[in-house]
Structures are given as structure tokens and as C-alpha cells.
Amino acid sequence: MRTHRRSFYRIVPCVLAIGLVASILVSAPACRQAGRSGGAPVPPRAEIIPHELTTHGQTRVDNYYWLAERDNPKVVKYLEAENAYLKAVMKHTEPLQEKLYDEIVGRIKQTDLSVPYRDNGYYYYSRFEEGKDYPVYCRKKGSLEAAEEIMLDVNAMAQGHGYYHVTGLAVSSSNDLLAYGVDTVSRRKYTIHFTNLATGETLPDAIPLTNGSAAWANDNSTVFYTQIDDTTLRPQKIFRHVLGTPVESDALVFHEADETFNTFAYKTKSKAYIFIASTSTLSTEFRYVSADTPAAAFKVFQPRERDLEYDVDHYDDKFFIRTNLSAKNFRLMTAALDKTGKADWVELIPHRDDVLLEGFELFMGALVAAERMNGLVQARIIPWDETPEHYVDFGEETYSAWFGANPEFDTDWVRYGYESPTTPTSTYDYNMITKEKKLLKREEVLGGFDPADYHAERLYATARDGVKVPISLVYRKGFVKDGTAPCLLYGYGSYGYSTDADFSSARLSLLDRGFVFAIAHIRGGQELGRAWYEDGKLLKKKNTFADFIDCAEHLVAQKYADPGRLFAEGASAGGLLMGAVVNMRPDLFKGVIAGVPFVDVITTMLDTSIPLTTGEFDEWGNPAVGEYYDYMLSYSPYDQVEAKDYPALLVTTGLQDSQVQYFEPAKWVAKLRTLKTDDNPLLLWTNMEGGHGGVSGRFRRLKQLALEYAFLLDLAGIRE
């Protein structure tokens, strides 16, 4: 998915661009001009090289198609020139950036520990050390008073790398072997490694080109892993590897040949089965084998069907299936171990028109269902005996809640995470019998933070077609609703991803300076059920953009926002939202942050060699079909740029981004530079080391976030 919650930025020295770019730019490098003459920085302009693209008899001319040539030195020089220009334009905000960075870091408890969870006789947790960027993964045997065992110190592992990410930690059934994936480029190409936890030795087995995760069989030596395509990065093959044998001889157990599907392997919570999942936007299919017999052939659980989605877990003598079979908002079914086809599924939780079943957790004494009602997640406790069911009371008007680590069946406690715009991230254990709630940890926010100083609320905007669109917002108490406050509106609205109201200690730097922060829960997400998602995709995608504009206008009309200081932010598919909105209503916003934006929709979706494309035809449409081509072209931000005034724009990307290629935002900015008729800032930042999620490391990210906030505050006329 082209998803990303927040965007971050990194500054490079202005000197990088000097003397490198004259051959490809219309104007001189910005920092050289500013440094010598004292005048305003002059933006770089990419060379115009017309390239014709003909589809359905229609020819589009793309003047910046050449920017997709990743290995062309001229491309790198242009991106460096844009970085230098950003540095020059934002130079006057550097003291503010430093102040913001110090504030944000000052709220963080740098030496910190996650809440341990118990699995197979060990307590697992991670911790951060003061001043260090990466986690240390640890465990203790039997009790929390036992000696600490360090499994991985990522700080030591990351030395010498500009980017480093570890994922997919999985311990074998005998507790002595650890599998984990490492990416050092930010292209989501993980190599799986194995460590002997008793000796600390890294085994010679190294499996490249994977998604980073491995599922252990119960023999303590066999793993199943996913190989990705080297070009498209699509997870396409499942292999079986036996430790100590050559990776080249690994057995291929499944090949997902349909390019619109992805595949991965996982182990059930019961540790009894290995499943292979094949997933697309509208259909899923699962295969399974006993974890005790990993060399056996996999069986198909229920053959794939168009528009049939399901997922599976196991407990005791049943499989549990969440499915949309005759249930738009999903229902829960069970199946016997030897009869897994849909004809033999038995309903456990029926479908409801006003409740979306998002997930479930299985325990010895109860089933816990995650249900979304009125846009908010609820936890429904359903005991297996005759005890009445009930819901967990979360107690706030708008919030985010999710299942935590629950690896064991034999417990009366379910772990969940919780936060709201005023409540820091919290971990709870909830007793499903007594209803006792234990707060195990709440993110400690230093610097005198008091949640009573802030207020969150939920309101509804009426969209142009009469639909009520929820908005979550937060502000510092003392705010007066008189239409004078600066406001940042965030949106996403794609893939059925629900953007719940979260907490951010960094965001306090905006709130404490008088900002209102709001989230528009627009169509294309799934906050109000499956229909909410379906009304914001394919040939209804424009509802997403219209909803965001209508939410922005509602905030102004209700005097939550100053119409002259209204800002917008979105990233990835939310960056597409930003691109569409500024084309449709460029007058509405003072400034916009578009992070890793998916803005060249038509060209990307026509190129099946680009990662994610084939798997997303059911999300955006296939432009090889005329009807979808015409509709997508009508909103594609890059294609719809016109000669008119635009708001101030900060656009970010990563050279290694595999989800939205760097050249989409680069081309968009180049075209805007040529056509826009205003003098508002247009800034492009390319992280030359990072990918879709920016750089690795918690503190480097905060430097970049300070730049983003300084951009907003400067436009709002707030200098301190």
C-alpha cells in the first residue's frame, strides 16, 4: 500500500549543489545566488525534454519523464539542487528549527522500556538507551527478575550504515534460535539472518530478497519465508529452508503467479499450523500445513473467488474465519479442522449493517472482537461460557485503540493499546472476567506536559452530497472559537485505512503555539464501515477529495480555523489527496505539506514494472481500460497542473522509496515551477538515503520533523 502516517525531512549542506547543476538548470543554484548577491534564492528549473505517452489514442506530453532515470547523474544533480534551494529558502527559520527540535527531544524519555509480554516461558521487550537511535531487543527467562538476555543490539548492528532497519523477529519453538530481517537501503529488500541465542553466534544461513519475516516449523530447524520480485518488489514465492543447508537448494512450496496478488507465510497463535496467505484488494486465499510436518504438502483452505475475502486463525478443534461472505462489514465463522470450504462454515458473529468487524483475538476463556462503530474501535468481550458479553469502556470522545501482544491462550487478561489526542500512548491489561483494567505503561512526556491543558472533540461536516464526515480535532485549552487560529488539517482516505485520532508529543509544539490540529475521516478510509471505503475508491475516488475540501470549509465556517492560516498535510496516497486538493481549490489553503506523494497516477498505473502497480488495479482502476483512464486522468495531480496560483508547498520524497518512486514528486514540482503564477514557496526535499518512511533512527527523524513544523509556523507568522 502507498501508505504513510507522517512525513519527515532531512537537510543537507547548501554547498552540495554549488558547481554541480549549471548544465541542467535554467537558473543558477539557489544557494550560490543568495550567498553572493544577498537577493532572494532562485529556484532550479529542470530541463524540458518532451516525451510522448499515447494511450487509447490520446497523447500526453511529459516534459520531465527523464527524471525517472535513476542512474542518470543529471537526475541526482537536479535533486541536490532542489535540496540546496530548500536550504536557502528555509535558512531564516534555522533558529526556529533548532528550538523546535530541542522542544521535541526534550519531551522524550530517552532511556525507555517497552512493556514485556510472555511467550513460551520468556518475557520479551525492547529498550532504548539515552542518545541512541535504535532499539535493543531483550528477553528474560521465567520471570522479570531473571537476568537480561540481549538478543539484538541494533545500535551496534547499524554502525557504518546510513540506513538500517530490523523487522520480523521470530524465535524458534525451542527458544534458542532467532530469525530476523535486515534492510540497509530502504528499498524493502530484507535479508533474513539467524542467531543462536545461547551462544550469540550468527549462523551462516543468510536469505536475500525477502519481505523480512520467517515462520518457524516446530522442528526448530525449518522456516518458511517470502521471496520478493527484484524489480516490482511483489512478494511472490514461498520457500522452505532448513538451517545448515544451502539457500540455493531451498524448496519452492508456492508461487503466486497472479500479479495482482501478494503472498506471505505465518504461524497460527496456537503454533499448530503454518499458513500461506495470498491477498489482493478484493480476494484472498489461504493454504495450510501442520507445523509438526513442514515437509508435507499444503492444502487449500478455501479456493479464491472474486470479491471473497477471509482470514484465518486456529484454536483447539476449530478454525476461526473473519469473512465478507454475504457480509459487507464482515462476520465471524468457524470451521472444523477437516472441512474448511465455505459451504461448511458456521456463523459465530453475524453481519451488521452499522458495525465493521475488524479483527479478533482468541483465548481459552473468551473471544475478543474488534468492532468499529460510529467511526471508533470497540473491544467486545464474548466469554465461551454463559457469562454475559460486554464492551470495554474507553471513556473518551475520540481515540485510537488496538490489540497489543497476546501470544498465549491460557490467560484471563487481554492486552490492548490506547491513545487519544490528549492521552499519550498507553498499554493496558484488561481482565475479561472481573473487568479490572491495569495501566501497565503510559508514554512519559517530559517538560511539564499535563493532558488537562488540552481538549479533543469530534464533529461532523456535511459533504456536498449530504453525507456527514467525521472530524477529530485537538487544541490547547484557552482556544477561542473566533476564526483567528491557525489550523492544520490532516487526511489520507485510501485503501480502507482508518485514520484514528492519535497522540503526538511532537505535535504539542504546534498546539502550544495556538494551532488547532484536525483529522478529516474522509471516504476511502473505513472509519464508517466498508461502504465508506467503497465510496472513495475506483470511479468514486473524487469523493475523497471533495470530503477533504468540505471538512476544511466546515472548520472555517465554524470558526475553528483562520481562513488565511489554514494548512493541509497528507502523505503517500494522502499526498495524492494533497495534489488533487490544491488543483481543485488552490485558494483554500495557506500552505500544504505533501509527503512522498503519489501524484503521477496515470503513468505509474500504466507501468506494471513499478512496485505495487498490478496489485492496486482494484483500488484505483486499470488505466488500460478506457473508462478508468479517463476518470483517473481527470484528477491525476501531475496531469492536472495548470497556470494559476497555488499555495505554498513543501514536497518530500526519498531516493530509495519503493512505494512511491522519487520521480513522481520531482516531476510534479518541476511542472509546478514552470506553470504556477504565484510567488509562494515551492520546496522539494529528497532524502538521498531514505525510502518511503524517511530516514532510520528516532532522533534523525525529529530533526526532519522540526523543519516541517518550521515551514508551517513561518507561513502562519509565528517566529518563536
List the catalytic residues.
Answer: 572, 657, 692
Bridge partners of residue 517, in order along the sequence = 474, 488
Of 468, 291, 487, nearest in space to 375 by CA: 468
CB contact set of 387 (below 8 Å; sequence gap of 6+)? 433
Residue 665 is placed in which grid cell?
514528486
Q: Using alpha carbons only, what angle is made at residue 154 by residues 150 and 160, rounded to the nearest 5 degrees? A: 140
Rounded to whole angstroms, how far apart are CA atoms 634 and 621? 13
- DSSP letter assigned to residue 382: E
User: What are the backbone dihedrals phi and psi of residue 388, each rounded to the nearest 5 degrees, phi first?
Assistant: -60, 145
CB proximity list for 148: less than 8 A, separation 6 or greater: 138, 139, 140
Backbone phi, then psi, for 430, in 5-degree steps?
-120, 125
- Cβ-in-10-Å burial (0-12, 13-18, 19+) of 440 comes to middle
DSSP 630-647: HHHHHH-TTTT--SS---
Residue with cell 484505483: 620
All residues at 6 or more sequence positions from 198 whose CB lies less than 8 Å from its CB, including other chains: 176
* Cβ atoms of residues 525 and 499 within 8 Å: yes
Q: What is the separation of C-alpha 546 from the centre of its chain, rounded to a whole number of angstroms?
A: 23
Alpha helices in 112-203 (DSSP H): 154-157
CB 464 within 8 Å of CB 545: no
Q: Identify the CA nearest to 694 among candidates 668, 663, 655.
A: 655
Return the residue matching grid coordinates 517538560. 447
CA 654-46-650 angle, 5° bins = 45
Tally Cβ neighbours within 10 Å of residue 270: 13
Strands (E), 25-81: 51-55, 58-62
Number of CB atoms found within 10 A of residue 381's CB: 22
Q: What cell was used for 517?
A: 490540529
Alpha helices in 151-305 (DSSP H): 154-157
User: What is the distance between the terminal CA atoms of the chain, rounded to a whole angstrom?
Assistant: 38
How far is residue 38's CA from residue 176's CA, in Å, rounded to a whole number? 64
Could you tell me which residues come within 8 angstroms of residue 713 by beta carbon, excluding any fewer than 6 positions away? 93, 96, 100, 510, 513, 719
What Cα–Cα distance (Å) separates residue 638 from each residue in 575, 579, 632, 663? 12, 8, 11, 11
